[in-house]
Amino acid sequence: MFYVQRDAQGALSRVDALEFAGASATLPADHPEILAWQTNVIVEKRLQQLRQSDLEMIRVLDDLIQVLTQKGVIRVTDLPAAAQAKLMDRTQAREALDGLNHLITDDESGLI
C-alpha cells in the first residue's frame, strides 16, 4: 500500500510507503499508476548515473587525448577544429585552476 498525493491535474506528485501530511489517498503496490511511478523513479536514477558517468568519462577521454598527443600517437591538429577548440578551452581552464591552488597553502584557509 502506498500513500499518494496528486497535483491539480490529478497526476501523482508524491508517492511514499509511509503516510505523510498531504497524502490524499492510498493505492495498492500493483496499481498501474504506482508501477509507472516506480518505473519513472528507476529510469531517473539510471539517467542520473549516466550523467555522472559522462562527467567522469570526459575526464578520462581528456587525459587519454593528452597521453596520446604527448606520446606522438596523434596530434591535436588531427582532430576536428571544434574538438581542438574544446580541448584548448579545457586545458586553459585546468591550468587556471591549478594556478589557483598555489595561492592557498596548508596553513591558510583563503586566497591572498
pLDDT tens string 26-83: 999 999 999 999 999 999 999 999 999 998 998 899 889 989 999 999 999 999 999 9
Name the least confident of 7-16, 49-58, 95-104.
Answer: 95-104
CA 86, CA 61: separation in Å to the nearest integer?
Answer: 12
What's residue 108's pLDDT? 53
The pTM score is 0.51
Q: Which helix (H) or strand (E) holds 29?
A: none
Name the least confident of 18-22, 49-53, 58-62, 95-99.
Answer: 95-99
